[in-house]
C-alpha cells in the first residue's frame, strides 16, 4: 500500500487533540510525566480537546477519574464516542436499540419500543448473546447500524484486551450490514472536535497510541498526528509502511516538549 503524504508540523499547532487511554493514563494510573506535561500545554494557552472511544463510562465519571489522577480537564473538553453517536441519532431522527454498558445507559436514554436503528457501545463484561441477537435481527430487518467505535483492542493494567470492534465486525459479518462508526477513526469525530475550537485540520495535531484509529485516522482527516510509544503501542507500529506518523514520541511528555519547542 502506498503511504499518504505525511502532514508536517513546522510551527506550533493552534490546537491539540489528545487521546486519553494509553496516552495520559493506563487504567487508573497516570503515565509518568503526563500530568506535568498537560500543565505545560495549558500554560502555553493552546485549546485542547480530549478524545476517547471509551464507551463503558459516562462522561462525568471519566472526567472525575482523570481529575483524581491529577489531570486538569473539564467536562466540555471531553469529546466522546457516545456523544458522537447521539449526535448522529439526533441529526437523523433515529429510534435506536441501545446496546451499551449499564453505566452508560442513563446517558443514552431508553431504547425505542420499535427501534429502527442499533447503536452499539462497549458492553464489556455485560456482553450478552440475547442482546446481540436482538441487534442482529433488527439489522436483518433493515435497521441502521451505528457503532460508537470499532477498536480492535485496548490496554488494560494486565495486558491488551478485546475491544468492541470485535462485536461490530461480528455483527457486520453475520448481517451483511456495515456499521457507521461514530467515534475514532471517523473523520467527522475529529472534525467536530476541531470545529468547537475553530481550528483548521492542518493547524492542529492529534496525539495518540493507536496507529490505526488515532494516527492513521487523523492523517486521513488532514491532521498531523504524533504516535506515542505507550499504551497499546506495539513494537513495529513506528515502522509501518502504510501509516507514517508526523513524528513518534516516547510518551506524552516527550510529545509536548517537542511541540512546545516548535516556533
Name the residues that contact a copy of itself, by CB under 8 A: 123-130, 132-133, 136-137, 140, 152-153, 159-163, 165-176
CB of 149 to a copy of itself, least distance (A): 12
CA dihedral 183, 172, 238, 162 (to 10 degrees): 80
CB of 100 to a copy of itself, least distance (A): 14
Q: Where are the beta strands (DSSP E) in 46-158?
A: 48-52, 78-80, 96-99, 117-120, 144-147, 153-156
Distance CA 3, CA 11 (A): 23
Distance CA 160, CA 166 (A): 14
Q: Which is nearer to a copy of itself, 153 or 192 (CB)?
A: 153
Q: Are strands 29-30 and 25-26 parallel, antiparallel or unpaired?
A: antiparallel
Q: Which is nearer to a copy of itself, 160 or 242 (CB)?
A: 160
Q: Which is nearer to a copy of itself, 124 or 208 (CB)?
A: 124
CB of 240 to a copy of itself, least distance (A): 13
CB of 136 to a copy of itself, least distance (A): 4
Q: Which residue has the cell 456499521?
A: 179
CB of 220 to a copy of itself, least distance (A): 19
Q: Which is nearer to a copy of itself, 117 or 194 (CB)?
A: 117
How far is residue 263 CA from its own chain's centroid? 29
- DSSP state for residue 208 in the 8-state scheme: E
| Bridge partners (DSSP) listed for residue 52 | 80
Q: Which is nearer to a copy of itself, 102 or 170 (CB)?
A: 170
- DSSP state for residue 212 in the 8-state scheme: I
Q: Which is nearer to a copy of itself, 214 or 254 (CB)?
A: 214
CB of 99 to a copy of itself, least distance (A): 12
Instruction: At 138, list the grid cell.
Output: 433488527
Amino acid at each position: 500500500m502506498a503511504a499518504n503524504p505525511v502532514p508536517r508540523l513546522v510551527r506550533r499547532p493552534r490546537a491539540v487533540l489528545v487521546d486519553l487511554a494509553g496516552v495520559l493514563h493506563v487504567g487508573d494510573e497516570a503515565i509518568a510525566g503526563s500530568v506535568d506535561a498537560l500543565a505545560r500545554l495549558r500554560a502555553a494557552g493552546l485549546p485542547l480537546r480530549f478524545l476517547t472511544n471509551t464507551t463503558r463510562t459516562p462522561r462525568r465519571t471519566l472526567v472525575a477519574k482523570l481529575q483524581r489522577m491529577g489531570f486538569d480537564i473539564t467536562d466540555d473538553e471531553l469529546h466522546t464516542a457516545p456523544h458522537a453517536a447521539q449526535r448522529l441519532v439526533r441529526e437523523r431522527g433515529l429510534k435506536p436499540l441501545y446496546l451499551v454498558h449499564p453505566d452508560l445507559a442513563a446517558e443514552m436514554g431508553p431504547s425505542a419500543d420499535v427501534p429502527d436503528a442499533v447503536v452499539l457501545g462497549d458492553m464489556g463484561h455485560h456482553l450478552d448473546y440475547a442482546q446481540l441477537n436482538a441487534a442482529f435481527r433488527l439489522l436483518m430487518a433493515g435497521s441502521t447500524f451505528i457503532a460508537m467505535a470499532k477498536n480492535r483492542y485496548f490496554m488494560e493494567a494486565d495486558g491488551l484486551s478485546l475491544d468492541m470492534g470485535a462485536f461490530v465486525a461480528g455483527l457486520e459479518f453475520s448481517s451483511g450490514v456495515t456499521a457507521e462508526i461514530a467515534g475514532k477513526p471517523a473523520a467527522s469525530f475529529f472534525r467536530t472536535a476541531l470545529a468547537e475550537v475553530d481550528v483548521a485540520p492542518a493547524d492542529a495535531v492529534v496525539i495518540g497510541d493507536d496507529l490505526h484509529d488515532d494516527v492513521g485516522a487523523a492523517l486521513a482527516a488532514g491532521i498531523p498526528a504524533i504516535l506515542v510509544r505507550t499504551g497499546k503501542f506495539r513494537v513495529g507500529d513506528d515502522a509501518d509502511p502504510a501509516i507514517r506518523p508526523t513524528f513518534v514520541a516516547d510518551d506524552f511528555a516527550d510529545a509536548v516538549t517537542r511541540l512546545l519547542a516548535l516556533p
